[in-house]
Chain A
């Protein structure tokens, strides 16, 4: 199934894009989506230790399942304010 991945700030810069479509297997989790992104953009790998994720505009755990057409966002540590 196909999901849309959004990347922000340092992640976006390293990947060279803020949005990509990716294929994952049925039953995949957000962690599986991340693994697919890292496979295409290995420079992102170190962020696996300090990653937040959102699924369809809700923060979600990396263990959460994804569904067809989901928007999965990966967020580096935040610095608003």
Chain B
């Protein structure tokens, strides 16, 4: 992956501060081009691998992605966010391969002029990733392992998109 890529799927350990710098820089470039206000808020969501799920003791997760489509979906989510929150800039990095308990599986950075948009867009983005990103986790727990299957990905499902927006603004 390019070190300053805003959207990435990577087997490397995720680096939230590096993504924050990249998204702030992108937001700054937008602002200087359009004359809009510069960055006033950075909201970063980091998803960690939890040690328990559904009452099971989790040992680790193993993530798989359809990488090129995942990148396009991240870009799509960023495009959706701009429709809802003007001047938002998003970055999304998702880990693949084995991920240990306590390590980050995803980092989402939202940068905007004001905090309300940054908080909302970060929440929106993680809900949309869970709905439509072509990424799967295999859970290794005490006693077995299983593919976790969540949402049926349907990017054009406006109800799902609306649900993500409501959660973001709650």
Contacts and interface: CB of A to CB of B under 8 A. Distances in A.
Interface stretch (B27-35, B148-156, B162-170): B148-156
A51 B152 CA distance: 7
Given A52-B153, A52-B154, A78 B132 contact: yes
For chain A, the bracket of interface size reads 20 to 34
Contacts of B69: 54, 57, 59, 73
A6 B147 CA distance: 17
Contact of B133 (A51, A57, A58, A78): A78
B72 A79 contact: no
A36 interface: no
Interface string B122-161: 0000100111111111100000000111111111100000
B89 interface: no
B112 interface: no
Nearest to A47: B149
A63 interface: no
